[in-house]
Structure 1
Amino acid sequence: MDKLFNPSSIAVVGASAKAGKIGNTIVRTMIDAGFKGEIYPVNLNGGTVCDLQAYKSVSSIEPAPEMAVIVVPAAGVVSCLAEIAECGIKAVVVISAGFKETGHEGWLMEQEIVRIAQEYEISLLGPNSLGFINAGSGLNVSFASNMPPAGNIAFFSQSGALCATVMDWALSSGRGFSKFISLGNKSVLDEAAVLEYLGSDPDTRVILGYIENVESGRRFMEQARKVAMKKPIIMLKSGITPAGARAASAHTGAVSGSDRAYDAAFRQSGVVRGGRLEELFSLAKAFSMQTAPKGSNLAIVTNAGGPGILAADACGESCLRMARLSFDTIGELQRILPGYASLYNPVDILRDADAERYGIVSSLVVNDPMVHAVLIVISPAGCLDPAETARAVVKAVSEAGKPVFCCLMGRGGTAEARSVLVNAGIPVYDFPKPAVRAMESLHRYSLWKSGSVRVCEEPERDIESAAEVISKAVRTGHSEIVEFQARELLKAYGLSTPESGLARCGDDAVAIASEIGYPVVLKIASPDIPHKSDVAGVVVNLNTPDEIRKAFWDITARAQRLMPDAYIAGCLVQQMAPFDSREVVISFKRDEQFGPLVMFGLGGVYVDILKDVSFRLAPLTREDASAMIREIKSYMLLKGVRGGSPVNFDAIIDVLLKISSLAMDFPDVCEAEFNPVLVCRDSALVADIRITVRMGGYPEYKVESV
């Protein structure tokens, strides 16, 4: 890919002598940007383009250029690429649009492009790409006329318009960029390939990205994790709603996928996710200018109470904590500040504060050993000179070795102050909340890096026995494996279940209940009824033989009446859960891009109504499973409140790891749900299970290394 982004010579196929044509603009921008290599315009009519000799074919250029740009109409791209490939050129940018984003015919042409690129080992960017810019070397291979200043931020995007937007922001804010890369349709080079290149790019410190979909989820996660260990990746993902997903498909032919899966993929790969475009810019400033704090303690210095409170609120909503200043710092503040100033965090140095007071207080606070990061809020005041104050702050914090952010409230008369702060490496924000959010993201990224070694445990299990359960269901034509069929599968994975037995009649149920011990639960047993609630197929707390016989008759008769075509095997008789049990739901569903997405949540209304759930992509580590449990809002109910006993968290983690292993062991299992899992102080019992299998043949399963 180095030949793509750092070529010594470039052919522009489809170059035009007519100003305003894309083929003319591409050549002109390269010349204007100061590209020091050779530029070869290619036009069937020859002549000159932008005062350069035009060649009638790529093959007539000797020696062959290192890179080619294609700007001909879509119908001519395949033949152009074939000629380029024969010339031995290994790097190509296809600007032309009209491929898979337009429908089936375009898709077929794009597949031919992919075939040629793979056969000749060509690094191909596009099609439907804006091109790219390498600001450090003065190379602009795009039809964007403006060149951003050189810097340490790289940006790649599926949208060319987003590249132009970010470039405009760079120009207006003075932020420097190393690379701008428009991925287009990602037919050959996708986000994973670009991440790999930028991860080793010495000019890039921070990577920004906009994506509408990911072509290979697992490859993306693997590459992102490697790169995020070296430098931060900040991503904006669109298409998170049905309307957005449809728009993404029309834009680049992208299939968007589950947003929950993307969220889990980013989290597990160390990717920082920006919620909105403005947040992408906000985070870019922070990560490109500051290092992560060594802890979570934030101190706020302000000359106005209101903005200080807003900053404290933002801190309270984050994972950061308001720092408690040391006694020595408070004593010094008491000595130098007026008696009615607030000496505690936030430190309010009052409206009459001048640059000198800002400098002295900032120095005291940033050097406090209890403080890990500082936010300095400067509000407009009649006697305050913003530029002078900025210089005082820079001098005060320059040698502290801690991240310092500044919030300059108001735009009027602050241009010089902003320049002073930015030139000193201090990010500047208009309001407190984005500044605190950026600090929090720095801190979270630092925590991820410090604990990012992933060790996926392989629990003991009997693969052959589990495969036989699934095979039997497939052979008998059932895509759903329900509880009474799946008990052997649970046993194969060493999962505990309530003591139970299958009863064919009421007397069988009474006999089984006598062995288990009262009270018991009766559940309909039918491979054709995966959702027992559809037929009111569960009766709990049965204490006598008469109650059991009546319940058996009621359940089976009702099921037969409501679903006359269903095969009724009888009822499952199951022991009641321990009195202090809580219900949780553990499941997975296979995502198209990323594979098995594991879910955890409390049962009942917590999942169904409140949607209080957490997600991770399999395979899970023990740390992943533990984090999933702690993430839900109802976590404290599991810890025990108002005299309630805590549940066995290790037992829940064990179930999560085993359902993750099941998902990885059997690719033809589309989804599985353990609902409920009854957890108490001593154990976690899988009380009900439903598995969906992809039909179409039973594969020879084998254990895959995780």
Structure 2
Amino acid sequence: MERNDPLLSLFEPRTVAVIGASRSPEKVGHLVVSNLLASGYQGKIFPVNPHGGEIAGIAAFLSEDQLPETPDLAVLCIPRNLVNASLERLGALGTKAVAVLGSGFKEVGREGYYLEEEAASICRRHGMLMLGPNSLGVFNPARGLSASFVQAAPDAGNVAFFSQSGSLCFSVLDSARSKGFGFSKFVNLGNKALLDESHMLAFLKDDPETEVILGYVENIADGQAFLRAAQEATLEKPVIMIKSGSTPAGARAATSHTGAMAGSEDACRAAFTQAGIIRVGGVEDMFNLAWAFSTQPAPQGPNLCVVTNSGGPGIMAADAAGRTKLNMAALRGQTVDELKAMLPSYADVYNPVDILGDADAARFVKALGVVAADPMVHMVLALLTPAPAVDVEAVARAVAEQARSCGKPVVACFMGEGKVAGAREILRRAKVPCYEYPESAVAALDALFCHCEWKKRPLPVEICYMSNTYQAKDVLDKAKGKGFTELSEFMAQDVLKAYGLPVPKTVLARTSDEAAQAAKSMGYPVALKIASPQILHKSDVGGVALSIGNEDELRRSFMGITNRARRVKEAYVMGCLVQEMAPKGSREVFAGFKRDPQFGPLVLFGLGGIYVEVLRDVSCRLAPLSLLDVGEMVREIKSYPILRGVRGEPPVDFRAVEDVLLTLSQIAVDFPEIEECDFNPIMAHPGGVLVVDARFTLGKPTGNDG
């Protein structure tokens, strides 16, 4: 079935107009025309030059108005002050896509910013796609499309690459050519005035020529659109991305635990996790994974077998596997017996299989064939060090032969440089990834396995609990009406109750007599907490007393807490809150959210109490959360064993903890005006949870969350 995607006019145009085509070989407008001709583009090329004549042997047209037919794609190679007038003329013709290669737009300042905004507005009005401005252009090697001034066009392949950075494109193109690496699509997004990474993901997901998607981004303007596009793309194909610029300098100081810990990097990491994107730190790692994904079949499980001629590197590979989700395969008895029969008596026939330094190609191919046939082995790593007796190129041919026939992922690691260069080239031509070090090879296999597991995950199930949103809205409206930027404790408890969250019995006591009466009514032991809207972190001023067991202790604590609080400048002390204590065996946990400007509400979870900001042992996901999200959040913190129970302690009620996270997520979605929120502490125990303290910080509604 023929695709009906607007981006086909960018990647597969039947006609290309080059606006600003030039007869000067060094100018951008000439290079674009020359590149289209040199790359074998079979469509029509319309150079546009106000002086007419011929450009690279093709007759030029004086203006856009004189083109014999409407171009699918127009490549603009003209000064920025001429761009918008040209866009108007192209839009009037019905041009479907434009690529603006010129610079001098928002990347240079105020005037350029307004020119770019006007350009985007013109394109929207005419229903015209725009790549850039400040773009290097676009390549589709399989169709001979080199709509760019970059002369080093990529070879054809099954991997797509998009980048926000033009300079990185030069580096990637140069590296790819030296590695013999090809691309299905290659595009520089430039300033992303209209087309961005979300559009690329949506298009490449369905592109039949693309099997692997690579990307580099610096900023993501619409985080929710990106998340949706990435989640759909990763269910079809692996998406490997570099994300830089994640920590903006000068971020405002946050008032809550959540605000203190949640930054744009946390939101980005959560988005990549929830979308199934494989994030890498640099270009080398990106190529390493792309090689494996573009050449190897999907593994049927996590079991790895290493066949090596050197014990030390074999152990390094096993150690690397131990740091991933892979297992070193336990070879079945028949496999071990076959290896014993064919290898010297002093060889190691268990995994890693050490076939010894004097192994020739024949021994390698036999050992690889035996382990690859073992049903307990899901993937194979052929690891070689260039010992004097080894014909490394013969071994490379043997590895390539096994890779073609076994139907399982097979990667190689030939350690060294000059002595293994020819062998690596043999493997490259045979489409067998070959790595310099065991750790890189294992990381690539781990990525293959993890992506397969991601695709098998059940579809996310979002839970929406019954709640009285009208009651919660009334509380928030009253707070905003009084000019509050933060809810008082009782207001916060009313919001929690509206959402059915379990809260401890709480009474505001203005005097020690009222405190004693409240404690007697609810039963000892009780807790006392200072009640003051100006004191945010009660423990910092000695404003909390726990496990008070009798009236005398209660009165002393009341007087001590209120006296200390009155020393806080401008603090209005209302008295103390008397609260019931959580059951014995409770463990403190923390949950909260902060609204990220790109991605929306970021929900955090970890151990609670006063050390949450110090230890920073937290997990995070973007709202709305699914059942799978909250299950992962609770179990991926390092202190999870404390919740599971140590030294005979029973585990906490994990379902109750997960319910709190789901409800918190729902609050974040329902009320965009809540900027930050803390539930700290939440007392989790075997019989349920109690949300002991909650803080809501109000901001301006954004209107785009949820």
Question: Given the two structures, how large is their TM-score scaled by the length of structure 2?
Answer: 0.95
1:617 paired residue number = 622
Which of 280, 287, 305 does residue 281 from structure 1 map onto? 287
**Tell me, what secondary structure is at the counterpart of 2:405?**
coil
Which of 367, 375, 384 does residue 381 from structure 2 map onto? 375
Give distance in 1, aligned partners of 2:414 and 2:609: 48
Residue type matched to 1:390 in 2?
A: A
Cα deviation, residue 478, structure 1: 0.8
Cα deviation, residue 131, structure 1: 0.3
Q: Which shifted more, 8-17 or 528-537? A: 528-537
Matches within 5 A, 1:423-572: 423-564=429-570, 566-572=571-577
Matches within 5 A, 1:646-685: 646-685=651-690
Deviations 1:136-191 (A, max 9, x none): 01110111101222110000000112122111122111122111110011111111
TM-aligned CA distance change 1:605 to 1:343, over 3 Å: farther
1:167 aligns with 2:173: yes
Give distance in 2, aligned partners of 1:684 and 1:2: 54
Deviations 1:314-347 (A, max 9, x none): 1011111111111111111122212221111111
TM-aligned CA distance change 1:135 to 1:243, over 3 Å: farther
Cα deviation, residue 452, structure 1: 4.5
Give distance in 2, aligned partners of 1:447 and 1:482: 45
1:24 paired residue number = 30
Give distance in 2, aligned partners of 1:482 and 1:316: 49
**Tell me, what secondary structure is at the counterpart of 1:185?**
coil
**Tell me, what secondary structure is at the counterpart of 1:399?**
helix
**Tell me, what secondary structure is at the counterpart of 1:129?**
coil
Deviations 1:223-274 (A, max 9, x none): 11112111111111011344699xxxxxxxxxx9711111111111121111
Give distance in 2, aligned partners of 1:45 and 1:388: 61
Residue type matched to 1:129 in 2?
A: S
**Do the aligned partners of 2:609 and 2:680 also contact (CA within 8 Å) in 1?**
no
Give distance in 2, aligned partners of 1:270 and 1:452: 13
Give distance in 2, aligned partners of 1:183 and 1:671: 33
Give distance in 2, aligned partners of 1:445 and 1:298: 16
Residue type matched to 2:183 in 1?
A: F
Residue type matched to 1:42 in 2?
A: V
Give distance in 2, aligned partners of 1:609 and 1:289: 45
Number of paired residues? 690
Cα deviation, residue 77, structure 1: 1.2
2:258 paired residue number = none
Cα deviation, residue 196, structure 1: 1.2
**Do the aligned partners of 1:213 and 1:257 also contact (CA within 8 Å) in 2?**
no
1:67 aligns with 2:73: yes
2:44 paired residue number = 38
Deviations 1:398-430 (A, max 9, x none): 332211111011122434422332333321111
Give distance in 2, aligned partners of 1:656 and 1:45: 67
1:253 paired residue number = none
**Tell me, what secondary structure is at the counterpart of 2:413?**
strand
Give distance in 1, aligned partners of 2:140 and 2:287: 20
Which of 260, 268, 271 does residue 262 from structure 1 map onto? 268
Matches within 5 A, 1:598-613: 598-604=603-609, 607-613=612-618
Q: Which shifted more, 170-179 or 521-530? A: 521-530
Q: Which shifted more, 390-399 or 638-647? A: 390-399
Residue type matched to 1:421 in 2?
A: L
Cα deviation, residue 52, structure 1: 2.3
Deviations 1:482-539 (A, max 9, x none): 4332111111111112222111211111111112211211111222322223432112
Deviations 1:19-54 (A, max 9, x none): 211122112211211212222222222233223222
1:229 paired residue number = 235
Matches within 5 A, 1:275-354: 275-354=281-360
Give distance in 1, aligned partners of 2:330 and 2:626: 35
- Structure 1 alignment gaps of length 5 or more: 246-255
Give distance in 1, aligned partners of 2:350 and 2:227: 44
1:576 paired residue number = 581
**Do the aligned partners of 2:163 and 2:216 also contact (CA within 8 Å) in 1?**
yes
**Tell me, what secondary structure is at the counterpart of 1:586?**
strand
Give distance in 2, aligned partners of 1:447 and 1:684: 32
Residue type matched to 1:223 in 2?
A: A
- Structure 2 alignment gaps of length 5 or more: 1-6, 252-261
1:50 paired residue number = 56
1:150 aligns with 2:147: no
Give distance in 1, aligned partners of 2:399 and 2:629: 41
**RMSD value over aligned CA atoms?**
2.0
Q: Which shifted more, 656-665 or 286-295? A: 286-295
Q: Which shifted more, 600-609 or 101-110? A: 600-609
Give distance in 1, aligned partners of 2:310 and 2:53: 68
**Do the aligned partners of 2:386 and 2:420 also contact (CA within 8 Å) in 1?**
no
Cα deviation, residue 607, structure 1: 2.6
2:255 paired residue number = none
Give distance in 2, aligned partners of 1:396 and 1:25: 45
Give distance in 2, aligned partners of 1:293 and 1:180: 28
Give distance in 1, aligned partners of 2:419 and 2:153: 28
Which of 1, 8, 14 does residue 2 from structure 1 map onto? 8
Deviations 1:444-477 (A, max 9, x none): 1111110151111111111111111111111111
**Do the aligned partners of 1:98 and 1:128 also contact (CA within 8 Å) in 2?**
yes
Give distance in 2, aligned partners of 1:313 and 1:463: 52
1:248 paired residue number = none
Give distance in 1, aligned partners of 2:535 and 2:368: 68
**Tell me, what secondary structure is at the counterpart of 1:481?**
coil
Which of 400, 405, 409 does residue 415 from structure 2 map onto? 409
